[in-house]
Amino acid sequence: MTLQDARAAINHTLSQMKALYNRPVFDEWILVVLVREQGAVLSSYEGPRVEFYQREFKEDVQPLRAELEQHQLAIGDFVFVHDAAGTRFDACIRLGQTSYLFFNNIAKSMAEIRQDPLWLEAQKPFVELSSKFRADPLD
């Protein structure tokens, strides 16, 4: 999958989730490519923190980083952090050999999002997105 196709698929998925949940599930996302020599290269971002997401990324990804270190994600696999609050990222999908997609809801944690019964339907497009990358990885 190309980066342009990935961005389109991500935005389409978030629109579907918003329609099913009656409000945005995630209000920001960031696509990261890990480069051995440089660390994380922030490839794409959409959300309300355009001016400063880069300088806060290392701190905001900490809860998910701890979760990722406990799992060996295959391409298309995903994890959630239930109690990440504020600007801390809530979810991650592995998109390719070196690429990851992080999602966040600045106002709610995943625990709060899951309390709404509409979450059951809204998570289906998220799972479909992960399957798209499993079938056609980004890299």
**Per-residue CA distances from 106 to 22, 27, 70, 113 (Å):** 17, 7, 24, 11
- The predicted model scores a pTM of 0.91
In a domain, 116, yes or no: yes
From edge to edge, which strands make up the β-sheet containing 39-46? Answer: 39-46, 28-35, 99-104, 91-94, 78-80
Tell me the residue range of the domain where 71 lies: 3-134
In a domain, 102, yes or no: yes
**Per-residue CA distances from 69 to 42, 64, 75 (Å):** 20, 9, 15
For 42, other C-beta atoms within 10 Å of its C-beta total 13
d(CA 106, CA 127): 21
In a domain, 29, yes or no: yes
CB 47 within 8 A of CB 35: no
Token pair belonging to 139: 């890299």
Residue pLDDT tens, the chain, 139 long: 998 999 999 999 999 999 999 999 999 999 988 776 555 666 788 999 888 888 888 889 888 888 888 888 999 999 999 988 889 999 999 999 989 999 999 999 999 999 999 999 999 999 999 999 999 999 7
CA dihedral 9, 110, 72, 10 (to 10 degrees): 10
In a domain, 139, yes or no: no
In a domain, 33, yes or no: yes
In a domain, 49, yes or no: yes
**Per-residue CA distances from 61 to 5, 65, 72, 92 (Å):** 24, 6, 17, 10
CATH of the domain at 37: 3.30.450
Number of domains the chain is built from: 1
In a domain, 12, yes or no: yes
In a domain, 87, yes or no: yes
